[in-house]
Chains A and B, each alone.
Chain A
Amino acid sequence: MKNVIKTIVFIILLLISIHTFGYFLRPSFTLDNSWPAFIKEKKNTIDVLFIGDSGIYSDVSPMAIYRDTGITSYDLASPAATNMAAYYAMLEAVKYQHPKVIVMNVTKMFDGKETNAFTHQVADILPLNSNKINMINDSNYSFSDSDKLGFIEPFFKYHDNWRKINFLNKTNKGVYYLKGYIFNSIKKSANNGRSYMEDDGSVQSLTPSYVADYILKAKEYCDENDIQLLLISVPDTIEWNYDKYVAASAWAKTNNLTYLDFNDYLGELGINYTNDTYDAGNHLNISGATKLSNYLGEYLQKNYDGLVDHRSDPAYSSWNNDLQKYIATTESSYEALQNS
């Protein structure tokens, strides 16, 4: 009996050591800038969730939307995450907030799953529970046993990272007021402008991949839980084109989904690929993101009932404080880009 207790104590100590080292060995991810603050937000105070990849956290600024409309929203997005990873992140996120609208970026609906490293950037943030286990066992990911071990305990994925071990706090609390948005003030113009959305008369028919099935799964979940699902594709001259626009629109129509392709509204948005992008047309900078967010905020306000203006509600005073910080950080860059 004594030996049994000794063994159990030892195993617990070992697991604690492994988990602790795993935490410090894991590199910092984009979601480290949003997820820890997100789960600390007061319950059911966020009305809109933006889910997806870099197109979300670069192009959609929840604070810009709040400034214009008073709608509270949050970006939960991870680089290169397809709708597969986004779907599982969404299932976890709705445990903390009950949003009225979930907005998903579908830019990657024609691609295969993201590479393992990018799946890790999502999965490693999620707590180990049945949702995560389902994700790891998802047959579309087809992880090997040792891959799975690395997902269950990230230590086994990152043990070789010992040269870069970082015992300091890996999350950057300073930027939480951006609500998941990642601020970028660089300007790097695109060469081809809006030509990627021109109909050159030879439309190739595209079929959404298995990744798109997860959009349908998300829709199913939203319907069951009284959440509206809005699909968007953010302005992107590199990953998007006219063929995808045609195919995605048709697919959304057959599946009865609300879909907004911003690439088709570039004129209304006022986005030009000279000033508004930081990487030659793949993602938007603060200027482009503000334009897009303003438009999106207005759209949400007009088309969805129950999205309340919280700006004068004293319960949301922290949002107003964050807004001041947001303005202080971004305003000058925004102005500079407008005048360039």
Chain B
Amino acid sequence: MNFISLEFIALIFISTIIYYIVPIKKRYLVICLANAFFYVYSCKFRSLYLLASMVSIFFAGLFINKIIIKKNEVKELKIDKEEKKLLKKKYNKQKKLILLLAIIINLGILLVLKYDNFFISMINSLFSSKISFHTFIVPFALSYYTLSALSYIIDVYNEKYEATNNFFKIFLFLSFYPLMVEGPICRFNEIGEQLFEGHQFDYQKYCNNLLRITWGFMKKIVIADRVGVCVDAIFSYGYSGPLILLGVFGYVIQIYAEFSGCMDIVIGIGGLFGIKLPENFNTPFFSRSVDEFWRRWHITLGTWLKDYIFYPVSISKLNMKVSMLAHKIKWRHLADTIAMILPLFCVWFIMGFWHGPTNKYIIYGMYYFVLMLLSYLLKPLIKKINELLHTNTEVFSYHLLQSFITLIFVTLGMALFRVADLNGVKLLIYMVQLPMNSNISILFNGYANLMIVILGTITLFIIDLMKYHGINIMDKLNEQNLVFKYIVYLTVIMVVLIFGMYGTGYDASSFIYGGF
């Protein structure tokens, strides 16, 4: 089921309306049904993979819980200290075993369904065998699903919270249908309980969320799809000269409008049910460093990698040994940087690989690995230079410069993300030096389309700017009189309906990030 389709819009309304008709204690069942419907409708039998995975996660959680309880009982046992220690060790081992099993099962499903051809080609090239390729059609957003599932089982293992003994809660958490296109990646302690408990209907909130969904559609089908026409043309290498730069920056606008638009739709749908999903974007283009950018862009992926890769690797025994050795160096900052190498490498390698098993994505990850490491290493140097030059770093112009430099690095990263393969990079660099062979009007299919893109981007910018300065536009709108509010609502809806690229002549469009 595509997000930009009549069926999906019907599902949103029907499921949320029925939700509020059913008695409050049974409301979670409506979500369960909607999820099941969504899966079976769009994935047919392949949804069984997910069911199997959910069952494995549920039982693994319960087992780990039991072991933890036993382990905690050891303290009260009337046996000597050595025995207690041994017993604890035994339980820890069991716990670890179940965790590993759960991780292997779930990563296994992901790897088999999504990365199979990558491994086959690797085996083929290593052993010059000829295993044939086959393509599983990946159930929706399997990568997002897997990360959510792993976070639950790891959290239970780390005793962050207890495993639930209610399968419904796991089912709700792992299959909530709006999340099944491109996240956000949720945590059980954030949304598990929310999904299960019934929510009261709140007219104002319902309206606000509908507006947010409409706004998301606007970003997607008015701005992103429109600029996408130009971006697709340029990244199919038919154009040359400064137009390439247009395509590269256009892609930044496209992916931001699209990804954050999708998040507005998803979080809006959650809001219709009275559920607060985590935000995935926080005005990323006002970031003053690449590091900050990744704390404002695809936030839930960033925090997932931080919590489950960066910290564990950083404080692992291996990395601590590296750190100890490094600290024999007098220059403390270099030592700290060396201690960052392994964790950062793991984070960005996984980040790249998660997007897809191709060289391009892995290099994309490595690009950020190098960038992050360098920016960390050079931080004191830049500070020294600024001190020498007496630069005022707390003024608008300096922030602007920082944001601009960040934007350049991010844009280069996105271009790498967009090209079909690594040869594409060489090709684009070559072609940008050639004379311009077309004009903007042709690329956008008329200046009118370009105007809409520009106006849309300015609107996006203004709204982000307000958000950055802590102004909540939704609250401001709610203070207004009914007539004005209705004019705004109608305008937004009509802009989407008229200027949206949907229906005859447009293929049902999918989301760039939906493939992961």
Contacts and interface: CB of A to CB of B under 8 A. Distances in A.
Any A–B CB pair closer than 8 Å: yes
Chain A interface secondary structure, helix, strand, loop or mixed?
helix
A162 B446 contact: no
B493 interface: yes
A157 B503 contact: yes
B176 to A, nearest CB: 26
Contact of A146 (B486, B494, B500, B503): B503
B219 to A, nearest CB: 18
A323 B399 CA distance: 78
Interface in B26-42: none
B497 interface: yes
Contact of B6 (A21, A145, A155): A145
A160 B446 contact: no
A159 B6 contact: no
Contacts of A157: 503-504
Nearest to A120: B504
Given A13-B490, A157-B504, A146 B497 contact: no
A149 interface: yes
Interface in B455-512: 482, 486, 489-490, 493-494, 497-501, 503-505
B501 A160 contact: yes
A157 to B, nearest CB: 6
Contacts of B500: 159
A277 to B, nearest CB: 34
B448 interface: yes
Contacts of A159: 497-500, 503
Contacts of B501: 160
15 contacts: A10-B486, A14-B490, A18-B494, A145-B6, A146-B6, A147-B504, A150-B503, A156-B497, A156-B503, A159-B500, A160-B503, A160-B504, A160-B505, A162-B498, A162-B499
A163 interface: yes
Nearest to B485: A10
Contact of A17 (B446, B494, B503, B504): B494
Given A149-B6, A159-B497, A163-B446, A10 B503 contact: no
B297 to A, nearest CB: 32
Max chain B CB contacts within 10 Å: which of A10, A14, A159, A162?
Answer: A159
Max chain A CB contacts within 10 Å: which of B6, B486, B489, B504?
Answer: B504
Nearest to B204: A3
Contacts of B503: 146, 150, 156-157, 159-160
Nearest to B446: A163
Contact of B498 (A3, A21, A145): A21
Chain B interface secondary structure, helix, strand, loop or mixed?
helix
Contacts of B203: 3
A69 to B, nearest CB: 45
Interface in B6-43: 6
Contacts, number: 43
Given A10-B489, A146-B6, A162-B498, 16 more contacts: A3-B203, A6-B482, A13-B486, A13-B490, A14-B490, A18-B494, A116-B504, A146-B503, A150-B503, A150-B504, A156-B497, A157-B504, A159-B497, A159-B503, A160-B505, A163-B448
A159 B6 CA distance: 16
A150 B499 CA distance: 16
Contacts of B448: 163
Contacts of B499: 159, 162
Nearest to B506: A160
Interface in A4-23: 6, 10, 13-14, 17-18, 21
A116 B494 CA distance: 25
A163 B447 CA distance: 11
A340 B493 CA distance: 59
B207 to A, nearest CB: 9
Interface string A143-187: 001110110000111011011000000000000000000000000
A7 B486 CA distance: 10
Nearest to B5: A146
Max chain A CB contacts within 10 Å: which of B448, B494, B500, B503?
Answer: B503
Nearest to B7: A145
A17 B490 contact: yes
Interface in B78-96: none
A17 B486 CA distance: 12
Contacts of B494: 17-18, 21
A162 B499 CA distance: 8
Contacts of B446: 163
A163 B444 CA distance: 14
Interface string A37-64: 0000000000000000000000000000
B144 to A, nearest CB: 28
Contacts of A18: 494, 497
Contacts of B493: 14
Nearest to A160: B505
A85 B125 CA distance: 61
